[in-house]
Amino acid sequence: MAVSLAADVGGVRRFASDQLLTLAKVVVENALQPIVEVQTGVVFGYESLMRGQERIGFDTPLDILDQAEAVGQLLPLEQMVASRALAKFATLPDHAAFTLFINLDVRLIPHGDAMVDSLLAHLKAARIAPSSVCFELSERFDNTNVPEFASLVNRLRRAGFKLAIDDFGVGHAEMKLLCDYPIDYLKIDRHFVAGVDGNPRKRHLVKNIVQIAHVLGVRVIAEGIETEGEFVACRELGVDLVQGWLIAKPTTHLAELLPAYPHLREVGQSRRSSQSLDEILIRKQIERLPTVYENDTIESVFDLFRRNPRQSFFPVLNANGEPRGIIHEIHLKEYIYQPFGRDLLKNKVYERTISHFVDRAPVVGLDADADRLMAIFANTEGSDCVLLTENMRYAGVISASSLIRIINEKQLKSAQEQNPLTGLPGNRAIRDFMQDAGRDSDGFRHFCYCDFDNFKPFNDHYGFHLGDHAISLFAALMRRYFFADGVFLGHVGGDDFFIGLSDWTSDELTEILDRLLSDFHGDVTELYSPEDRASGRIRGEDRHGITRDFALMRCSIGVLELPTGLVIDDVSRLSSEIAAIKKYAKESQSGLHISRFRELGQAEV
């Protein structure tokens, strides 16, 4: 039976090879898979994928494309698939707001002019701007070795199309493409996305790919997102856009497509009711310069510089409002001061458009923090600015001088929030540390909450002066024992402190905390009168106003351990876990209790 079935399939394929295009027109369909903005869940675009080829004996789209190439029908097959994708895309409500991603087979590059001519005709008929179409350059073969590749890329850019590198990391010449060609998007292959939340090596690679891409003005798409952990990890590593089964599977039925997937905003998010300090400061300094559209005339650019004589550059956008780079007056000076320079630019034979003068510039979202912006500036030689986007559209620019003001104001705010008694950072800084550490799963992380036992009766009995002395004493001991890199010390307020650590083992931490608790108890005991020390207790009122005996003061420390590979962005949940652990610490004989956080359920106690 199996032999018969195989023979049937083989027969269909042989028949299909003779009539491939005719049969493909009958069975092949276009499926669309949403590509969404990682911060909002709003759909940015759709990738067009081939479906239905199995009905004529081809297991995958690649199989039918290979066969089409073998029988000389690849170009008409791809033209048919692309035209149908555009027709389907054009029926979407508000399709002008989206981008259609179409795969470009390297074997079509020698036929690039015919392909582009056909596509432009379809776009014109459907009234779709070329900037609504992005060609994905497949890394199955080395595009850059095809002689016609450079000229095809230039034509695509002049026409207004966008370009993406597909399957980044597993193909040929991706870094050459990224370095030498004006790429808009980089699609990280599923290999690096799968299990990224639990794999430090993958996290490190993705983080650096994102950093490199943003410095070059390229936006990053993570392919194949299938779990919430992968989604959260990609979001926190700075990825701009995501696609995969977690969001939506490819579908041939347009009614199944949604304009947004708002549930993604809640996945792994901490419940913050306000903006971060960095975003507030960045929004204060953002400068919304006038913009140039890449399909504007050169004359309009001259006019813009004439009306803004103190501005040396302007952002360049595509028809969808996405940044393409900047246009700098220095590149136009030779034409401005040349006797017939402007006439030369207008000459159709000479053919110089705005796209010829665009310089790439770093592009990041408004949700980036100040340190990330500073890192991008540090890695971008001679950059005039960083282009900021909100929902992937141009939001303004940040110059180097503006960034310096942001950093200075952030440092001033941090200094103002330090506790005046101990000089340690306060609650905002503690929260920021916990959030950053929760997102960085490369090693063990420990959050230690320190709280004095029986501080109130001591403070009531001996006065605020000695109470402040005990607080200062503990802060000094913290600094003595925790001074290495990767250690954060904070003062929650009163007699509550916080210690945050990365890359410490539980044994190392237990040893140091035992010494800290022992030394503090010994030193603080000396603050009591000889009589109280001898009795080991004092009389005082508890928080309910009831008079009773209290033991001498000590400190209890509850420690929450986050294991390697765990990504969590919910600071409120972490805080509630720590509060529960603190109760166990106060009830313990040693005053120290360490629990490991589990991704599902409560901490292990």
Torsion angle in degrees (nearest 10) through CA of 344, 123, 316, 236: -150
pLDDT at residue 604 is higher than 70: no
Helix segments in 19-143, DSSP class H: 20-27, 61-70, 74-90, 112-126
Q: What pLDDT, on the 0 to 100 scale, is given for residue 352?
A: 63
pLDDT at residue 256 is higher than 90: yes
Q: At 334, is the pLDDT very low, low, confident or very high (cuts 50, 70, 90)? A: low
pLDDT tens column, 36-68: 999 889 999 999 999 999 998 899 988 998 899
Lowest mean pLDDT among 130-144, 415-429, 471-485: 130-144
Which residues have C-beta within 8 Å of that of residue 43, sequence separation ≥ 6?
34, 35, 36, 37, 98, 257, 258, 259, 260, 261
E-assigned strand segments in 454-495 = 487-493
For each of the domains in the chain, give its residue range(s) and CATH number, in order of start. 2-268 (3.20.20.450), 278-407 (3.10.580.10), 418-596 (3.30.70.270)
Q: What pLDDT, on the 0 to 100 scale, is given for residue 2?
A: 43
Q: What pLDDT, on the 0 to 100 scale, is given for residue 17?
A: 57
pLDDT at residue 351 is higher than 60: no
pLDDT tens column, 462-475: 999 999 999 999 99
Q: What pLDDT, on the 0 to 100 scale, is given for residue 267?
A: 75
Residue % of the chain over a pLDDT of 70: 90
For 140-159, the three-class secondary structure string (H helix, E strand, C coil) is CCCHHHCCCHHHHHHHHHHH
Q: What amino acid is encoded at 234 in this protein?
A: C
Q: At 344, is the pLDDT very low, low, confident or very high (cuts 50, 70, 90)? A: low
Beta pairing partners, 394? 389
Distances (CA, A) of 448 to 275, 496, 507, 562: 26, 11, 14, 11
Q: At 145, is the pLDDT very low, low, confident or very high (cuts 50, 70, 90)? A: confident
Sign of CA dihedral 313, 314, 317, 323: positive
CB-based contact 211:224 (threshold 8 Å) = no
Pick 537 or 349 by higher pLDDT: 537
pLDDT tens column, 359-393: 888 998 888 888 888 888 877 777 788 999 988 89
pLDDT tens column, 461-516: 999 999 999 999 999 999 999 987 779 999 999 999 999 998 888 899 999 999 99
Q: Across all residues in the chain, what is the average pLDDT?
A: 86
Which residues have C-beta within 8 Å of that of residue 423, sequence separation ≥ 6?
475
Q: Indicate the pTM of the whole model.
A: 0.73
User: The sheet that has 358-359: what strands, in order across it?
Assistant: 292-293, 313-317, 323-328, 358-359
pLDDT tens column, 258-309: 999 988 877 755 434 445 678 888 888 999 999 999 888 778 888 888 899 8
Distances (CA, A) of 446 to 323, 483, 494: 41, 15, 22
Q: Tell me the longest C-alpha to C-alpha distance in the chain.
A: 105
